[in-house]
């Protein structure tokens, strides 16, 4: 890795960590508050501008966007547990497919594909060749 690539990689890693943790909404909200303070302090007293910026009753468009985006990101999502595959080779060849352990426990039974798909026959043993 070259010396010139390290700062770019650090920046990308930092951006990924911020986004993954949801801190990007804090950065956008902070920029919105700074803009609101700058705009409102020109029209009102500084004390009044600070009060209206942080009271929550006077949000700007960016504040509403952050509120909707953060709520969407934190809303519980329906998740589908991945199915796991078990290969059981004890004695006779058998293939079993079962759901995730939690779903299998909820169902109370193991889903066995061998009951639906016939098991291939076991090949006959090799015969000794007559010399």
Task: Tell me the pLDDT tens digit for each residue of 47-89.
Answer: 999 999 999 899 999 999 999 998 888 777 666 666 555 555 5
In this prediction, residue 3 carries a pLDDT of 82
- Which residue is listed with tokens 């497919």? 97
111: pLDDT strictly greater than 70: no
For 2, 22, 53, 88, 100, the CA distances from 123, given in Å and listed in that order, are 59, 58, 79, 18, 33
From first CA to last CA, the distance across the chain in angstroms is 66
pTM attached to this predicted model: 0.50
């Amino acid at each position: 890795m070259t010396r010139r690539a390290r700062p770019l990689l650090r920046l990308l890693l930092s951006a990924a960590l911020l986004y993954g943790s949801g801190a990007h909404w804090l950065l956008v909200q902070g920029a919105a508050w700074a803009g609101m303070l700058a705009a409102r302090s020109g029209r009102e007293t500084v004390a009044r501008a600070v009060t209206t910026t942080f009271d929550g009753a006077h949000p700007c468009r960016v504040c509403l966007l952050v509120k909707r985006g953060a709520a969407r990101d934190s809303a519980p999502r329906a998740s589908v547990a991945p199915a796991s595959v078990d290969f059981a080779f004890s004695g006779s060849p058998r293939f079993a497919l079962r759901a995730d352990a939690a779903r299998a426990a909820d169902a109370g039974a193991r889903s066995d594909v061998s009951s639906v798909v016939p098991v291939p026959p076991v090949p006959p043993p090799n015969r000794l060749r007559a010399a």
